[in-house]
Amino acid sequence: MARSPETTPTLEVRALHKAFGSEPVLRGIDLSVARSEMVFVLGPSGSGKSTMLRCCNRLEEPTSGEIFIEGDRLTGPGVNLNAMRQRVGMVFQSFNLYPHLTAMGNVTLALRRVQKKSRAEAEAIAAEALDKVGLSDRARHHPGQLSGGQQQRVAIARALALKPTVMLFDEPTSALDPELVGDVLAVMRDVKAAGMTMLVVSHEMGFAREAADRVIFMDGGRIVEQGPPDQVLGAPTHDRTRAFLRRFHA
């Protein structure tokens, strides 16, 4: 039964459908992400990018289809969802840091309450994670005392500290002032360099070209086109992809 880790995808999505009421939003997504791969997801507004991402940790309950993390089933009844979610880190567009806790408190919460680590142990892990995102000196600050870019880096540290198998990023830089985007992308580059598997929804085309292993273009709840960044961004084969990309080159 056990498949070898080299051939088992780190994240596998099979025939994923999602409807809100009678409105279909995802119409059969098949996607497999290999270990340490960074997959970029592009697509017009409303094409279902966020919904797909949110199904991958079941913040959104799929209508049908299956999702596996390293071969372990995430969907369906009888899954220990809280345990599985530890293996899927998520970074949100609006950071969603806990405003009543310090940066350190944000990172240690799940380490302490879910992983039941001692305060000392949790703080040691959190300090390491904050160091990775370059914010060791901000550990005792509250989110309100941090810039948007710093907040997003704390949010990345919060996800990273749980040592997830895969990390999901939903437009991590869209809410940031342009001059703060670079710091966050630099951290994401480091995370990738450390071997993290990443599924990233973002419109940072430059970053996609430079860092992504694969780019997926979604439209109308389907994957329309995918391939290496140079191909999808440089020579798209599909009309809708071309139309979408024209807006960014204009």
Torsion of CA 14, 94, 145, 99, to 10 degrees: -70
Looking from the CA of 250 toward its CB, the CA atoms found within 13 Å total: 7
Report what 85 binds from another protein, ligand ATP, Mg ion, none; CB cut-off 5-8 Å by kind: another protein
- Burial of 34 (C-beta count, 10 Å sphere; 0-12/13-18/19+): middle
Residue at token pair 């309950």: 61
Which residues touch 197 (CB under 8 Å, ≥6 apart)?
10, 11, 33, 34, 35, 36, 37, 38, 165, 166, 167
Torsions phi, psi of 127, nearest 5?
Answer: -60, -40
Q: Which stretch binds Mg ion (CB under 5 A): 3-11, 42-50, 136-144, 238-246?
A: 42-50
- Nearer CB in complex with ligand ATP: 50/102: 50
Does residue 62 bind ligand ATP (CB under 6 A)?
no
Query: Which one-letter amino acid corresponds to residue 67?
Result: I
Tell me which residue of 233, 240, 197 sits closest to 218, measured CA to CA: 240
Q: Which two tokens stand for residue 108?
A: 């240690």
Minimum Å distance from CB 190 to Mg ion?
24
Question: Which residues form the interface with another protein (CB under 8 A)?
Answer: 57, 59, 82-83, 85-86, 88-90, 92, 94, 96-100, 109-110, 113-115, 155, 158-159, 162
Mask: binding to ligand ATP, 5-34, rule CB under 6 A, as x and -? ---------------x----x---------
Alpha-carbon span 49 to 116, nearest angstrom: 33
Answer for which of 11, 38, 39, 50 binds ligand ATP (CB under 6 A) is 50
What single-letter DSSP state applies at residue 138? G
Report what 188 binds from Mg ion, another protein, ligand ATP, none; CB cut-off 5-8 Å by kind: none
- Nearer CB in complex with another protein: 32/115: 115
Answer for which of 9, 38, 49, 108 binds ligand ATP (CB under 6 A) is 49
Q: Which two tokens stand for residue 197?
A: 């598997």
Minimum Å distance from CB 147 to ligand ATP?
23
Minimum Å distance from CB 47 to ligand ATP?
4
Minimum Å distance from CB 42 to ligand ATP?
9
Please report, as ranges, the residues that interact with Mg ion according to CB under 5 A. 50
Please report, as ranges, the residues that interact with ligand ATP according to CB under 6 A. 20, 25, 43, 45-51
